[in-house]
Amino acid sequence: MAGVTGKRHSTTTAVALVCACAAAVLAAPGTAFASPAEPTPPSNRSLEKVRKEIERLYREAGTATDAYNAAEEKAEKQSEEIVRLARAIDKGQTKLDGLKARAGAAARAQYRGGGVPDEARLMLSDNPSRFLDGAGRLRQGQHATKAMLTEMSRTQADLKTYAKDASAQWKRLEAGRKAKAEAKKEIKKKIAAAEKLESRMEKKERDRLRKLEEEAALRQQSAWVDTGILKDAKGKATSPGKKAIAFATAQIGKPYVWGAEGPKSYDCSGLTSQAWAAAGKGIPRTSQEQWKRLPRVDVKNMRPGDLIIYHKDASHVGLYVGDGAIVHAPRPGRSVTLAGAGSMEILGVVRPDK
């Protein structure tokens, strides 16, 4: 299932590519997907053990990548919230300063009035009518001052709340940074261990290992197709689904890089989230959140454009393109490619545009 490097396709070309590749990849059971009839020789059994260990390490790296991506997404949201709170604090402080200035002016005016009781000022006034008019305005001013003081108190309370919220967000951001750093450390550790295993092999052994990987995927795909699941999966892609497929197939041949969202490289959920963004639909960034938050459909009811989530921990995702095939970014050292939709352990199917 070789990829097409560095090529952008129109929707028509992309779908044609999918159909052509899917036809080659997903031949009827007993042909392309037939299980090897020959018993595995001892050397292959040893390589099979290595293959499973490498697969395990990359699976664990994928889980850590999801944790890293989730921490990254949270950090972005928390940073945006901190900026919003900082602006609210600045705006509130400006308002409070203005209210304080007005309150000070009111206090100075009252001081200049001498504080003489209204009754005494009425008795001493040469023009009682004018005094009563002034007294009315004074009462209005007193009401306004009281309202201003209430507003000042409310603004001070808001500022305290904003400051408290900002402090909490900073703590969450710091915790997220630590989680991201730990996930990054775990990713590098697992990838390094897998690469070390592969680097110990000679080229012939690496080629045989690649063949074993392909054979294992073909066996799983063949067993999945044999269940007759594709007979029920007759759904047609929606207009947004076609756009998502066109985007994803145009990325075939680009390398897998953990945490990447394009345009030059992708991880598995980076590819699916960007494909649906290109179709005008924002979806969660990680495969685990895609599994949690997007509407689920039965595998038998899936249609092109749906996302297939893999493994019990929802650590991998591919975009279903029809005819039993997905486009996905497999793992480090591999490129975005077409694969059998049943070549890995399926957890379930989610639909971004339900």
The question of whether 311 is a catalytic residue gets the answer no
Which residues, at least 6 apart from 168, have a Cβ–Cβ distance to it below 8 Å? none
Catalytic pick among 19, 21, 311, 328: 328
DSSP state, residue 206: H
Helix (H) or strand (E) segment spanning residue 308: strand 307-310
Annotated catalytic residue 9: no
Q: Is 316 a catalytic site residue?
A: yes
d(CA 348, CA 218) in angstroms, rounded, equals: 20
Task: Assign 333 to helix, strand or coil.
Answer: coil
Contact between residue 266 and residue 254 where contact means Cβ atoms under 8 Å apart: yes
Which pair of tokens denotes residue 203? Answer: 């080229």
Q: What is the spatial distance between Cα 315 and Cα 228, in angstroms, rounded to a whole number?
A: 26
Among the residues of 113-202, which ranges form H helices? Answer: 118-124, 128-199
Distance CA 317, CA 62 (A): 10
Cβ(154)–Cβ(60) below 8 Å: no
In sequence order, what are the beta bridge partners of 335? 255
Distance CA 251, CA 94 (A): 50
Q: How far apart are CA 311 and CA 331, in angstroms?
A: 14
Active-site residue set = 268, 316, 328
